[in-house]
Structure 1
Amino acid sequence: MVLRVGYVREHFSSPLLQFAEEDQRKTFTLVECPSGTGQLIGRLTDNQIDVAIALTDPLIAGIANGSSAYKLVGSYVETPLNWASIADLKDSTIGISRLGSGSQTMAYVMALQQKWPTDNLKFKINNDIRGLIDSVNDGSTSAFMWEWFTTKPYQDSGEVKFIGSVPTPWPSWMIAASTDPERAPSKALSAFLSKLTTHVRAFDSPEKRVKDDVEFIKDKFGYPEEDVVAWLKTVKYPENTAKISRKVLADTLGVLQQAGFVTTPDGGFNLETFVNPEVAVQED
């Protein structure tokens, strides 16, 4: 069984890339999704991938809004994502990659933090970071939100400028898998997560952070060493990728409801329905 694993080629994916390089039995294949979580969810739904490592909030929102195509099977990054973007953006047009993407969700979070009404936010879809950069430079959007360190090289080159940042109010990355047992059997998923955990722990170790992680990210992504060192000080990976926090699910759903992304049913959400219990363990 070869799992098709969708991912975004960013520094966060480093442990996954290291796992892929050492996967001699070829138990999975990587499918790059440069447009981000919206594209990952679309491909997961359309049977183009079996597993998605994607942003927490759109994954949870999709299930809350009725998607039965996938369930959560694990956690990938425990720390918040720092989105670069603020201030005089009220009533302006914000660039996003896709509807339902993290870039759109975080625009709502920004609006809530700034105490702006969220029912009249205006968006323009620009697919990926290149389209987003072009849109702020041609004036069709006033700003966009993308992860801080991924955006920084474009600031360094003068293509964009930072005007603020909005950290996610939840751990940033989770893992979802198809609910079709033929595409994503529980045994194959559990084996994948177990080995991914090994690589995540190694990457997250103090010894690796000193040199090996820095060199790997510099080589794969071309970031300056000072940026890599700074990012490593901010990120934390889970001890076990097959565990999911009930509090994270509840807190994220609370913010998504405030932003108008989901509607809580009578009696509240049943958190058990968000997770594949044959693969992941929920913890308080």
Structure 2
Amino acid sequence: MKTVRIIGVTEHFNLPWHLAIEEGAFEERGIDLVWTDIPEGTGKMSEMLQQNETDLAIILTEGIIKSISNGNPVKIVQEYVSSPLLWGIHVRQDSPHESISDLEKEEIAISRMGSGSHLMATVHAKKKGWDIDSLQFKIINNLDGALENFDKGSDAYFMWEHFTTKPWVDNGTLKRLGDFPTPWPCFVIAATQTFITQSGSLLNHILEVINTYTLEFKSIPSIDRTLANRYGQKLEDIRSWLSKTRWGQNQLRQETVDEVQIQLKHLNQIEEVMPASNFLLD
């Protein structure tokens, strides 16, 4: 049995992985796939990939492209979620802010520099025509850190996945002022160059298993109830999320890599636009 380390966020997108592990689908291929939740998100996962603390990661597209551009020896193996991520834009419930236009000069709470919450806040500000050079960020590590920051009366705003934060919007902890979808497929599977070189055949087996699960995921009986129960979501919210979400089984398109890089360069997050082959596993 070969041990393979994989990391991802603690969110409903990743249930296909957990089901496959629990049902022994990887073990049947001689693989002990060890999953670790990383609530800090993309920035932390990029660091773990670079330091060979994991073999694989389910990670935000823009985050890993930025990390690879900055020298992380990692490759994108394929898309994982092909649909956009819907980022909710949140303030504390008793905030005086009532619209997104109120937020132009406010501090932005992010998990860490280079994270999805950092990059998408910058993409959003650029789209709104705000001065991205004057943006100010406060690092809060994860969702719990954001909630603690708001509890102390912070006037910052915080961007995080819409349905993950919805329970706190529903219970009155957070106020959502709007949403901002990513303009590209949101999650990819990334692998370290070491793992690709040493365990290419294992990688193929892992992809065969997870692609089977994601192809069949929406047709699993009562999958909406399973998701709602496991992730503490309302059934109607899960059904809405499922209707918007598409899992992918193919490599990320070169045009998408180019588009993300162009955006990141405009935001001064990377120095140059490089060939897509620098990012994608052949």
TM value normalised by structure 1: 0.90
- 2:55/2:195 contact within 8 Å kept: no
The residue type paired with residue 80 of structure 2 is: Y
Alignment CA distance shift 1:181-1:155 (3 Å): closer
Unaligned runs of 5+ in 1: 278-284
Q: Which residue of 2 aligns with 1:213?
A: 223
**Cα contact 1:71–1:177 (8 A) shared by 2:** yes
- Give 3-state SS (helix, strand or coil) of 1:100's partner: coil
Q: Is the 8 A contact 1:177 1:184 kept in 2?
A: no
Structure 1 residue 188 displacement after superposition? 1.0
Q: Which amino acid aligns with 1:263?
A: E
Give yes or no for contact 1:178–1:184 (8 Å, CA) kept in 2. no
> Aligned AA for 1:171?
P
Which of these residues, 58, 63, 66, is aligned with residue 71 of structure 2? 66
Instruction: Look up the match of 2:235.
Output: 225
2:45 matched residue in structure 1: 40
Aligned AA for 2:255?
K
Number of equivalences: 267
Matches within 5 A, 1:41-190: 41-68=46-73, 70-85=74-89, 86-181=100-195, 185-190=199-204
Letter in 2 for 1:235: T
Distance, in Å, in 1 between the alignment partners of 2:204 and 2:267 is 34
Q: CA deviation at 1:181?
A: 3.9
Shift of residue 66, structure 1, vs aligned partner: 2.0
Aligned equivalent of 1:282: none
**C-alpha distance in 2, partners of 1:107/1:218?**
28
Find runs of 4+ consecutive structure 1 residues off by over 2 angstroms: 181-184
TM-score (norm 2): 0.90
Higher helix share: 2
CA offsets per residue over residues 114-140 of structure 1, 9 Å max, x none?
Answer: 101111110000011011122123233
1:118–1:260 Cα contact (<8 Å) kept:
no
Moved more, 128-137 or 94-103: 128-137
Q: What secondary structure, in the 3-state scheme, does the structure 2 residue paired with 1:34 have? A: coil
Deviates further, 167-176 or 130-139? 130-139
8 A Cα contact 1:61 1:262, kept in partner: yes
Identify which range, 192-201 or 83-92, moves more after superposition: 83-92
Q: Is 117-126 or 20-29 further displaced after alignment? A: 20-29
Gaps of 5+ in 2: 90-99
Shift of 1:63: 0.9
- For the 8 Å contact 1:95–1:141, the answer to whether it is kept is no
Distance 1:146 1:182, change over 3 A: closer
Distance in 2 (CA, whole Å) between partners of 1:168 and 1:260 is: 18
For 1:6, the equivalent position in structure 2 comes to 7
In 1, the alpha carbon distance for the partners of 2:79 and 2:46 equals 16
Root mean square deviation of aligned Cα: 1.6
Give the 3-state SS of the residue equivalent to 1:233 in structure 2: helix
